[in-house]
């Protein structure tokens, strides 16, 4: 089954949801006790985004997308989004190896989409 444009958009939204949820968890980790962490708006936002992502994946699999296509594209998109978030929001650095990985990830998305 060829991958339709709408499926790719949904996969991007799902990947963004997981990546943003992980960023929310990192933000929530600044709380010093577990009870505050679990009740924080960051944690509630993260859980909501994880649930949203699950429903998107259910739909994608229900429509017949292959696990290998969804899995590989989701991991690559997630990595790109988390990498950008780390740089923009947490001032993390980008090494040459990571840049090469980004380029290879983009190439692999293009190849998988054929």
- The tens digit of pLDDT for each residue in 9-32 reads 999 999 999 999 999 998 888 888
Q: What is the C-alpha separation between 22 and 112, in angstroms, rounded?
A: 25
Domain count, the chain: 1
pLDDT beyond 70 at 2: no
Residues 6+ apart with CB under 8 A from 93: 87
Task: Please give the model's pTM, rounded to 2 decimal places.
Answer: 0.74
Supply the range of the domain harboring residue 67. Answer: 5-112
pLDDT of residue 56: 94
pLDDT beyond 70 at 3: no
Structure confidence by residue, pLDDT tens digits, 77-91? 888 888 888 888 888
pLDDT of residue 41: 92
């Amino acid at each position: 089954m060829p991958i339709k444009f709408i499926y790719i958009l949904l996969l991007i939204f799902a990947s963004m949801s997981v990546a943003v949820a992980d960023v929310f968890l990192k933000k929530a980790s600044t709380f010093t006790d577990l009870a505050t962490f679990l009740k924080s708006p960051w944690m509630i936002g993260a859980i909501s985004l994880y649930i949203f992502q699950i429903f998107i994946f259910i739909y994608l699999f229900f429509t017949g997308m292959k696990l290998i296509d969804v899995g590989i594209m989701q991991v690559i998109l997630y990595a790109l989004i988390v990498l950008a978030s780390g740089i923009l929001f947490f001032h993390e650095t980008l090494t040459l190896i990571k840049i090469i990985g980004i380029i290879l990830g983009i190439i692999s998305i293009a190849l998988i989409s054929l």
